A and B are shown apart, each in its own frame.
Chain A
């Protein structure tokens, strides 16, 4: 599962740098994500994980370096950027479902308005996806009427409705009550099994062990270590990673 060579990568970051004012949040990042790969990014808060994730669909701009998606350098703005984003799903920490639209409308909006799919076809597909994430019965409710875990599963269905080439997960379970974490992780594990390319920023070590092909450990804006989950969790190479793991795995 660790072999990345031989296949053209879906995403390639080359010497990417990003500053927030005086803070250097991404320091010369080089990273590739292969098709079908599940990449988990872990590390301490403020280490640049979310920024890295958000840079891949240009919700964060970068100062220099290059990000290539599916053979194409990320467009800077306009229609070309919108088209690229339609091919990269995104699931946020705070769900961000459209608050004034029903669950079904949340899932059909992208296909109808961006892809030009007919309303009926989009609605049918939306119901299939909602069925898959276990929310079909709530299709005509509004986001605020659902629990956090349900909202996040809808957010995953909304991303899937665009038939994306990959999905970015930016701490998808961090805002959830503990009893709702597993239902979201189960959906994500299912996606990983089905071969979806995923970049997942998370603190869920269980998910990383079960579903990830590769773990990237980030701290202070740098990629400190990259390894298979087994190797990383049992035999971390750097002090920084061992220190981090000792803090999260002992309790």
Chain B
């Protein structure tokens, strides 16, 4: 227990980084996932193919490899730099790498949502003269989102927990990295383990609860 108290400030500072990574990744992955799903259902074969390839490659690659590729491939080799300060740079590398990875899952959740929207909705939208993009934006996606609020909650919970592999992308300042550092010094400590588990559950349990409630409230009556 003393171990937990001694390392609490370090661990808390690390956990704050997990939260910051989660917030950036949540926003970017929701936006990018929506763009991806628009590509996957678009009438243009090239866009459809690009969306499908992206989702299948990224979704089936281990996250640690995606993050390592972001850090080593994109940042070191191709010179993609967000900040001259290494720590800030690796934060953004990891946040956006995680977002790129999560976006593939957001896309697939939304696509299953689109499949719950009856074809007649799209036909009616086209019949009053809406273009493809208009009907997607005003008619199809709003209904698809409402249908998959709960599954999107699961995707977000997984994403929050995935922030603990940030070190694979060179960002060694999150709670998991700090935990490992403390173990190196004092040996493995059950209280420290449990402390971090409780911290994550304090974030992820409400996400699950709130998205579950929201799903019921937003459900489209047919």
Contact = CB atoms under 8 A, between A and B. Distances in A.
Of the four ranges (under 10, 10 to 19, 20 to 34, 35 or more), the interface on chain A belongs to: 20 to 34
B123 A77 contact: no
A97 to B, nearest CB: 7
A77 to B, nearest CB: 7
A153 interface: no
Interface residues of B, number: 22
Contact of A82 (B124, B126, B142, B143): B126
A114 B127 contact: no
Contacts, number: 73
B43 A90 contact: no
Contact of B128 (A77, A86, A145): A86
Interface in A154-177: 155, 158-159, 162
A125 B143 CA distance: 26
Given A99-B221, A144-B221, A109 B128 contact: yes
A85 B127 contact: yes
A89 B134 CA distance: 18
A100 B113 CA distance: 14
A114 B146 contact: no
A57 B130 contact: no
A114 B123 contact: no
Given A59-B127, A82-B131, A114-B130, A98 B120 contact: no
Interface in B104-144: 118, 120-121, 123-131, 134, 138-139, 142-143
A100 B130 contact: no
Interface string A136-150: 000000101100000
Contact of A85 (B128, B138, B139, B146): B128
B129 A92 contact: no
**Of A84, A89, A100, A144, most B-chain CB atoms within 10 Å:** A100
A100 B128 CA distance: 17
9 contacts: A82-B131, A90-B124, A92-B120, A95-B120, A98-B121, A98-B125, A109-B130, A113-B138, A162-B128
8 smallest beta-carbon distances between A and B, as pairs: A86-B129, A144-B221, A110-B128, A96-B120, A96-B124, A90-B127, A114-B129, A85-B129
